[in-house]
Each structure stands twice: as C-alpha cells, then as structure tokens.
Chain A
C-alpha cells in the first residue's frame, strides 16, 4: 500500500490529462425517461382542466364534474412525481414546480376536448407500460383506467 501511494504521489498533473469518467452525467434509465414524458402529459391535462374551470369551458352541463376530475388528475401527478428518482448530476427532470396554471388567453375548452384528452392519455399510458418495470406499469394501467372512467363521465 505505501508503494501505491508513493507512485501516485510522484505523478505530475500531466498523468491526469486523459478522460475523466467521474465527471460525466449518468444516463437516465428508460423508466425515468418514460416517467418524465408521462408527467409532462399529466401536467398538460391538469392545465386543460384548470383552463376549463377558470371559465373557458364550453360545456356548462358537465361543469360541475370538472372539480372532482381535476382533483384526481392532481393525485395522478403527485403519485407519478413521487416515483421519479433522478441520479445526481443527471440532466434535469420535468420540474416538479412546473406551472399548471391555465393559459390566460386560452381558447374555450369543450367537452369533446376534455374527452379526447382523456382518451389520448389512457391510450398513451397503455402503450408505454409494456416496457417499464412491473410496479410502474401497474401505476400507468391504473391511471389509464381512471382516465377511461373520466372519458365515460364526459360522455365518451
């Protein structure tokens, strides 16, 4: 061991001119990348509902159901974010503080818009669950089923 220290100590800084494997960013796993995309899509759904509730909803008969549906999407978002674990030094994840406030000049949101968004979300989640770890796949499947019930409530 003393010989090893001596050898290392005698080297000049030139000896470290090669690649530095310690400074690189670790690659994100497939699950993390998939989860980031799902979180982004869920944030967009939350924004859409907030826009509808903020007065841009063009389907008054269903307006009373939007609050509970939004609350469930916020639960989806919280559960998804809780599953996101980013290695130190990796590229930044979808920000947990990303704004989901409604766009001030958003166009009116119709029942058909919301229903299509719910259907699209359910379809996307089912497509993406095949390649992630089992417990994450089950979370995606459960959220997809919830989205399907939302679409039915909205007349799907």
Chain B
C-alpha cells in the first residue's frame, strides 16, 4: 500500500512510542542536569580528591558506549535484588552517562566566571553551598545553555537505545510495526521524521530560552 495510506492507518500507533520517548527524554534530561550540577559541586568543593574522582567518573563514561550501562542496570540489578522497572533502569543509565558530559560543560563555564566574584562572596560571609547556589550555578547555567541544548539532543537520540530493553518508545514501535505489517520502509521513515521533528523542536526551545535569558 502506498505511503500516505500506511501513515493514515498506522500513524496513531506511534503516539505511544512518542509519549514514551518524550517522557524518558525529559526525565533523563532533568535528572542528568541535576546529577551534572552535583558532580560540579563535588569537583569544586571536595578538594583534589573530589576533582580526581569526578575526572575518573567522567573519563569512564566518555570512553564507554551507553549501551553497556543500559544492559548492566537492566539485567544485572534484579540479580542483586533491585528489580527496578525498565524505564527507571534506562533512565538511570542515561542520567549517569549524560551527567558526566553535563558536568564537563558546566566546568567549562565556571572558568568564565570572574575570580573576583568568589572573593566578593567570601567577603560577605556566604557559605560555600550558598555561593554555589546563588553565584556560581545561575551564571554557569546561563552560559551553558547552547551546549546543554546540544547535549539534550544527544540524550534524545540515545533514548532510541532503550528499545533494547523492551521499552516501547519510538524505535521499538517502528520495529513492532515492521514485523506486524512487513512495511519496513514506511515504518522507519515515519520514525526518522518524528525524531527530526523532536530534535528540531528541542533546538528551537533552547534557542528561544537562550535568547530570553540573555535579555535579563
């Protein structure tokens, strides 16, 4: 059957996949941001060993593919008594991986903050945690918006790997439809288009946010 008819018939089944992709992407992105900030905090405040620890963590996740933690958490955790649901396992793997990259992005922006501000903060008696929360973090986040946007797009694309642990997101949906209807071309082209849409949407979102925040 031709493309248009196939899309008309099977289009709505993609909505489940779209929903799961969006939910895992948003959840993992927020989680990764929080985890990245936590890593940054550890790096800044725990002295040499803290910084080295974070470095080792970052190097580990930069030099290994994200499929490995996905498989590990999904298949191995139940064996040690932690049978978390698939979405949690996949989300956790994505958070651990992307948190590493985000902490590096934020670290780059920290160097852009004038040293003077740290001295000023200490002179008015701000505790390290408050310095971090009120001085460092807001500026670092604002500086990093473009790079964070880029990382979010990468995370969005990585959600497709969650199909390997049987989460019914977009890619899994395409595979199921291919098997059901034998129409491989149609199934995967629609999914590719949907991903392009999501990616473009995310990029626009970050660009708009960047512009809005810069005006303040």
Are A and B subunits of one complex?
no
